[in-house]
């Protein structure tokens, strides 16, 4: 695996692949790689000729109340994992390379769809930071496709809409949620969970799945199901950000006649914010968060 720090050099390396018509896939990450990230690399390798992984802790997508400098940075270990899985190239720029004129005057990419609800409501400016950095990575790498984890369902929805709005010739591919043996969705932020909380945090997944099963059985009391799930989480001492039943195609609040549904949730432990989801297609009963992996 070759590692590149500069835009000029990664573009130069990729140009012959583009000219030969080889399919290039990009997996954007912020590092601290876990099994979920590795599964995205594997998925990219299976459907493309060249796989590029990026590692960049993007300060632009961190809210004022979040600690960008405390985000786990495990670069050497990440490189070992990428080499072991057969990633072709790693693009690991610094802030100066990605934002040469500083953040204050950085041009922004704003996607107004889906960004003022759910995670966007509690993390103002977050998705503007995501769409800005992802659009820059797309411009640098010029991939044919890019793979994102479905754990952050709202994020992939926003990116798909951005790609459509900006007429970008890039296929956005969703990668299944990977879970720890007890069901907790893998996340780089799981390292922040305190040891005494760890046995209880699976309540988020369990509560969302319970709502999903109720929906699959015909229960359409969306508000009641959301309240019950929130209560269950709060009883274990966690703060609920949101539990919401939505249309999985539009992310609008679910309507009685909707067949494509998703239950999304976010909660706070003492030191971490966790998210998860459960997709329901009523014509086919239920399907665990889009071909979920354990």
Q: Provide the annotated active-site residues.
A: 37
Strands (DSSP E) found in the chain:
2-4, 24-29, 50-55, 89-91, 145-149, 171-175, 239-247, 260-268, 273-281
Q: How many residues does the chain have?
A: 294
The string over 126-156, giving b where at least 16 C-beta atoms fall within 10 Å of a residue's C-beta and e elsewhere, is: bbbbbbbbbbbbbebbbbbbbbbbbbbbbbb
How many other β-carbons are positioned within 10 Å of the β-carbon of residue 255? 11
User: What is the DSSP pairing of strand 2-4 with strand 89-91?
Assistant: parallel
Strands (DSSP E) found in 111-258:
145-149, 171-175, 239-247
């Amino acid at each position: 695996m070759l590692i590149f720090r500069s835009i000029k050099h990664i573009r130069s390396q990729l140009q012959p692949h583009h000219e030969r018509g080889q399919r290039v896939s990009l997996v954007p990450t912020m590092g601290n790689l876990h099994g979920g990230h590795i599964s995205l690399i594997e998925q990219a390798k299976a459907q493309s000729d060249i796989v590029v992984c990026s590692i960049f802790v993007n300060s632009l997508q961190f809210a004022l109340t979040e600690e960008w400098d405390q985000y786990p940075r495990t670069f050497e270990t990440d490189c070992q994992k990428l080499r072991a899985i057969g990633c072709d190239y790693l693009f690991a720029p610094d802030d100066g390379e990605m934002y040469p004129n500083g953040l204050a005057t950085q041009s922004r990419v704003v996607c107004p769809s889906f960004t003022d609800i759910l995670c966007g409501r509690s993390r103002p400016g977050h998705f503007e930071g995501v769409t800005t950095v992802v659009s820059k990575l797309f411009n640098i790498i010029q991939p044919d496709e890019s793979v994102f984890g479905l754990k952050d369902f709202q994020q992939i929805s926003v990116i798909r809409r951005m790609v459509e709005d900006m007429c970008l010739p890039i296929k956005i591919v969703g990668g299944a949620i990977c879970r720890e043996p007890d069901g907790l969705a893998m996340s780089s932020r799981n390292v922040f969970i305190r040891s005494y909380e760890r046995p209880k945090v699976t309540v988020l997944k369990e509560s969302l799945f319970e709502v999903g099963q109720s929906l699959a059985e015909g229960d359409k009391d969306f508000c009641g199901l959301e309240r019950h799930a929130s209560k269950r989480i709060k009883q274990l001492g966690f703060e609920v950000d949101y539990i919401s039943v939505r249309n999985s195609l539009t992310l609008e609040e679910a309507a009685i006649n909707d067949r494509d549904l998703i239950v999304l949730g976010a909660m706070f432990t003492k030191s971490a914010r966790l998210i998860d989801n459960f997709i329901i297609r009523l014509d086919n009963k239920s399907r665990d968060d889009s071909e979920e992996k354990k």
